[in-house]
Amino acid sequence: MKNTQLLVLVALVFIFSCNNEKKKDQKADDAKPNVLFIAVDDLNTWISPIDNFSNVKTPNFDRLASMGVTFTNAHVQAPLCGPSRASIMTGLRPSTTGIYGMTPDNKIRREGNPATKDITFLPEYFENNGYHTMGIGKLFHIHAPDSLFNESGGRVKGFGPYPEKRFVWDGFGKGIRGTHGRTSTDWGAFPEQDSLMPDHQSVDWVVERLNRKYDKPFFMGLGFLRVHVPLYVPQKWFDLHPLESIETPPYLVDDLKDIPPVGIQINDLPMMPSTEWAKESGEWKKIVQAYLACMSYVDYELGRVLDALENSEYGDNTVIVLWSDHGYRLGEKGTFAKHALWETATKAPLLFAGPNLPKGKKINAPVEMLSLYPTLIELSGIPPYERNEGNSLVAMMQNDEGLDEARAITTFGMNNHAIKMNGYRYIRYEDGKEEFYNHSEDPNEWHNEAGNPKYKTKIDELKALLPKVNSKWDSESNYTFQPYFVEQKKRVNGTE
């Protein structure tokens, strides 16, 4: 009898102990902040908290900036959506993975790529650490790998809605069919109502889920399609930006005269409108107006998300990050596109808000989008992921640590890199040709100083910081819009 009583007592103690541990784990999960992860496609830094270009109307970006920290000098790891997003989601540089072009979402992680075959994607890492994960819209190149999220809202195909006929641009420009891809670049007021925009429907999905109750912290991804071309939004957003008030960005006609041949090849985009065409046709201000209108539309949808979060039970315990996959040129360097290693293509907005972060702070030091993964991990109080190649920005946001050493590296194709540090930009192409710009004297990067002897020490310093690993192109990664990248992949992978 005594033995039986003793066994019962031990069992009760064990059960009680397990229940206590379960409650402790539940409390720990309850204490973890939720994460709202917002991607905006093709958004440059013209928004009001950063450049405030041409009196842009983006009050909700200002609102988010007042809630936390704005990085005014953040740079992407690739000036193209596919490799940029793959870098953010894997925590690895393009030069490590060989993902230099567009790669199907389901092919990023696979046995054929030694760098990514066993990588844990950012949302997965949160799931592995007790989070309920959700996502809608464009987060990876298309949406996300199959079954990545516990709940997926998917993504509307393409970048519509589209009118029956294009307003202005034919999609090919001077490009050659079969050699250059067709682009969705076009601009005009369409459709009639915000509710017809896929982004509006994505926000409806997010708002509905912010009104639910969860038994664990959540990670929610929202990927906006605008301001990606075509630059179509309802007329009311154009009305905010009267054509007579529109500024155009700085432009120098012979800007490319001192650019190395590889840089010229990369910038060869005959399917895109050229700045000279836009000037001669009278369309330049209209393109800028359309881009600003799209910004104001996305700002409105962002406001709907912030309202829903504020009115939910999660408003005080949610980390928000908003980012873009690259910058966008609106006439700078002769064209309307991303696709370059210059400042206007690599720089993009990055904003954080949430518990234990300063409010209304701006940081002007250069940082990398690669830092998103480790920063969100640290802000959420979950263990670091040892595979991350980026550095957390938490200490910089909270205590201004690392400002003087801050730098950002962008890669476009194999062994073509740019580095931004201490007000300088250094670009080195695969053939060893270089560009160098002193932004304090030449903020528009009009004058390549790579051959100027007075900058030799600085150039050597920056050159030493470029990636030492330059992987060959991943076999599933392609970019066919520019012949240079098609040729480079064949050449370096030995597939000619």
Question: Which residue numbers are catalytic?
Answer: 81, 141
Question: How deeply is 268 buried, as exposed, middle or buried, from its count of CB atoms within 10 A (0-12, 13-18, 19+)?
Answer: middle
Residue with tokens 């630059």: 231
CB 412 within 8 A of CB 79: yes
Backbone phi, psi, residue 319, to 5°: -85, 130
Using CA atoms, how far apart are residues 293 and 236, in angstroms rounded to an integer?
8
The pairing of strands 132-137 and 218-224 is parallel
Using CA atoms, how far apart are residues 446 and 426, in angstroms rounded to an integer?
13
* Cβ neighbours, 10 Å, residue 191: 16
Task: Tell me which DSSP letter residue 102 carries.
Answer: B
Beta bridge partners of 319: 35
Using CA atoms, how far apart are residues 292 and 249, in angstroms rounded to an integer?
13
CB 103 within 8 A of CB 480: no
Backbone phi, psi, residue 329, to 5°: -90, 130
Question: How deeply is 336 buried, as exposed, middle or buried, from its count of CB atoms within 10 A (0-12, 13-18, 19+)?
Answer: buried
* Cβ neighbours, 10 Å, residue 386: 6
Both tokens of 379, joined, read: 């802000």
Residue with tokens 């005080």: 316
Task: Tell me which DSSP letter residue 427 carries.
Answer: E
Residue type at 452 in one-letter notation: N
Using CA atoms, how far apart are residues 161 and 433, in angstroms rounded to an integer?
43
CA atoms within 13 A on the CB side of 182: 8
CA atoms within 13 A on the CB side of 368: 30
Both tokens of 182, joined, read: 């067709």
CA distances (Å), origin 347, targets 10, 47, 80, 119, 368: 62, 12, 12, 26, 9
